[in-house]
Structure 1
Amino acid sequence: AFRTRSSKKGYWFVAQQQLTTHNGDASRGLNIAANATFHDKETNLVDNYQSLMLVYKGPFDARPKDDVGIGAARLHVNNDVKKNAELLNVANGVSDYDNPLYTPIRETEYNFEINYGFHVTNWLTVRPNLQYVVQPGGVDKVDNALVAGLKIQST
């Protein structure tokens, strides 16, 4: 049977540290950042998420305001969501992922990204990226994905 809950709690952790400078320039160099969130397991689809990023600001003397980044992230779907999907599949008498009645079993997704930020002007940054997603949506039956993206940011 389905349950209803009224619960809203969560925790997060964020850390960022500059590790190096570029030729003594503190506005340039290697930075590391980590992020972790833990969500209410009673009410949230995703119960935890972690990421780790390395960003080098000003990698080239000719482009001192550009940055290059690499990162990895892990997203975990709440175990209750998995159990609910398993129960629905049993109730519907299905076990084949290709059956339209099948509810996908979701667990953990992993994402790896590399990007480069072109600081075009003081108000415009263009950031192409390439991502590799393992188990998209946390579903191991879904093929891993290579995704290209473009972020245009103005201030």
Structure 2
Amino acid sequence: VYCGPSGTGQAVKTVNQLGMGLVAAAYLEAVAFGFLAGADPEAIIQGVGGDEDWRKHLASVARQARDGRADDILVKFPELPYFLREAKERGFQAPMTQALFEFLDAGPRDWVDNMDRPRVAFWHQLRACASAPLTAPTPTTRSSGTKP
């Protein structure tokens, strides 16, 4: 895809990477909220699932959290300082990116990304800061014929 003059291809790549990271963080945060509120993971998956791509992605994140694999979801932590520096140089404020970076920067760099760079797992940080254990609640069993 032709993106324009020299340098704009990098900007398009940044849009892609930043969008992926921010969306992943938003979905993880939403799922964490549901878990902390006691929502059954299956209810979250079924309640948000659907044919739209964003619904499929959110349900996938919920499945990964339910299955104990949410620490594997990348929010592009190693790239955040670059994105913030670029934004500042262009006179653009990136408040969501800044908040995500500050939240993660305090955490342990115990994971690596797909390029073997140290990273902080967003889900780990959410768990570390939660006032209650951030695990998938145990589904409740209902006998047939009872109303929720």
- Which category of TM-score, normalised to the shorter sequence, fits these structures? under 0.3
Alignment TM-score, normalising by the size of structure 2: 0.24
Higher relative contact order by CA 8 Å / sep ≥ 6: 1 or 2? 2
Structure 1 length-normalised TM: 0.23
- Structure with the larger strand share: 1
Structure with the higher fraction of residues in helix conformation: 2
